[in-house]
Amino acid sequence: MRHVHMVSWLCLFALAIVVLPLQAQNQAPPTLDNSLIENNVRFVCPMHSHIVKNHSGSCPICGMDLVARTLSQPDTIDVNVSGAMQQAMALTTESAQRSSLWRFINTYGSIQFDETGLSHLHPRAAGWIEKLTVNSLGQRVKKDQLLYEIYSPDLLIAQEDFLSLLSSSNQSPTLLERGRRRLSLLGLSAQLVDELEKTRKVFYQVPYFAQQDGIVSALEAREGMYIETNSRIMTLADLSQVWVIADVFEHQIDWVEVGKDIEIDLPALDLFNLEGKVEFIYPTLDPITRTLQVRMVLANEQELLKPDMLASVRIYAGPVEALNIPIDALIQTEKHNRVFVRTPEGKFQRRDVDVGIITNGRAEIRHGLSLGELVVTAGQFLLDAEASLSNVAVDSDPASHQH
């Protein structure tokens, strides 16, 4: 008898295992309100916008009640906000207008040597520097000032050959002219050649003099050094005028032309609004900073401007007539620029716009707005949050977010 009861219990247990899942599968899903679905209403979690369902309930993540939202079309999204809510959000509007926008570049630059005023001194013949009157960087020199004296066997031989031609009984004007040119090409000045011809005495130590006023910007030789023709002894720089080199970003390159007005500020010297013009635009772009360099020239008779000083630079690239709005009205994202437009019915419509130049607090609108339309300039981010919540299921499939 005990065996019969055991078999009966096992049969009942097996039947329960089979029947109960079938009953669970036949249970009806939550009741859907077809009228709400036809009216394009979805239920969204206020905290987790990807939770979108066709019926009311609670969020499976945070437990908050789902909120009914009417979906808008993807291209334009309308937001209804009551008057009291508008006051609470401090909404302000301004009309889109057509006016002149000044293409204005605000950038930075630096003072540099005027490269046309640099003088590099190299020996024309190898030898030893017997005397060097310049011994430090930044030292100021005057034109015709003695810089150094050099002893060179090549220079000595060239002088002796020239004196031999002068003492020859059968002088050739052609050979004498060649002798003078040889001495000149080896670095002797015309005055030294005339003195050599007059005194008939060679210069064992040939002197070299400054050809311009300036400062020593590079000094690579010292007294007693042996130098060759590929050696640089020093570099003299003229500071009577300097260059200002400024960087222009890649997207602003087409704004800049030679002759455009520039203003420069040098706060370190308490100098502001120095005026000039774009003199030269460099032909290559920096591959790292993605900037193009432009140059202007500044007079510097008092030598107040020092190389490598930083300067604030403003380049005025000229006006352009365009439909524009305050930049405060723009909501800028990685992929879109959008604004909120107040419609005649009192609604707020979110639109994507095509933005052109942005300058002096104004943004050019190429597409998406019409002249006179009112755009929201304050509180638009709160409207955008409301619009995103209302439109959250436009790009979402409720069946894919059942968690």
Contacts with 27 (C-beta within 8 Å, 6 or more apart), sequence order: none
Residue 82 clears pLDDT 90, i.e. is over it? no
Could you tell me if residue 398 is inside a domain?
Answer: no
Same domain, residue pair 132 and 215: yes
364, 367, 372, 376: CA torsion to nearest 10: -70
Q: What is the C-alpha to C-alpha distance for residues 146 and 129, in angstroms, rounded to an integer?
A: 13
**Six-digit token string for 254:** 């087409």
Could you tell me if residue 362 is inside a domain?
Answer: yes
Same domain, residue pair 352 and 259: no
Residue 342 clears pLDDT 90, i.e. is over it? no
Pick the last residue of a domain from 255, 289, 317.
317
Same domain, residue pair 175 and 230: yes
Q: What is the CA angle 181-184-187, rounded to 5?
A: 155
Same domain, residue pair 156 and 305: no
Residue 393 clears pLDDT 50, i.e. is over it? no
Same domain, residue pair 246 and 307: yes
Same domain, residue pair 291 and 362: no
- Total number of domains in the chain: 4
What's the pLDDT band for 391 if we cut at 50, 70, 90? low
Pick the last residue of a domain from 317, 347, 366.
317
E strand intervals along 114-225 = 118-121, 127-132, 140-141, 146-151, 206-209, 214-219
Quickly list DSSP for 161-179.
Answer: HHHHHHH-SS--HHHHHHH
CATH value at residue 243? 2.40.30.170
Same domain, residue pair 110 and 258: yes
Query: What does the pLDDT read at residue 21?
Result: 44
Q: What is the pLDDT of residues 95-150, one digit of tens each?
A: 999 998 888 888 999 999 999 999 999 999 999 999 999 989 989 999 999 999 99
Domain that holds residue 376: 77-102+321-390
Quote the pTM value.
0.61
With CA atoms as reference, report the closest residue to 315 among 109, 112, 107. 107
Same domain, residue pair 30 and 20: yes
Could you tell me if residue 355 is inside a domain?
Answer: yes
Could you tell me if residue 280 is inside a domain?
Answer: yes
Inter-residue contact 141 to 237 (CB < 8 Å): no
Could you tell me if residue 84 is inside a domain?
Answer: yes
With CA atoms as reference, report the closest residue to 114 among 279, 249, 266. 279
Same domain, residue pair 110 and 243: yes
Could you tell me if residue 400 is inside a domain?
Answer: no
Could you tell me if residue 401 is inside a domain?
Answer: no
Contacts with 144 (C-beta within 8 Å, 6 or more apart), sequence order: 209, 210
Instruction: Report the length, in residues, of the chain.
Output: 403
Query: What does the pLDDT read at residue 24?
Result: 40
Strand 52-53 with 41-44, pairing: antiparallel
CATH value at residue 227? 2.40.50.100
Q: What percent of the chain has pLDDT over 70?
A: 83
Q: Residue written as tokens 């943004």?
A: 363
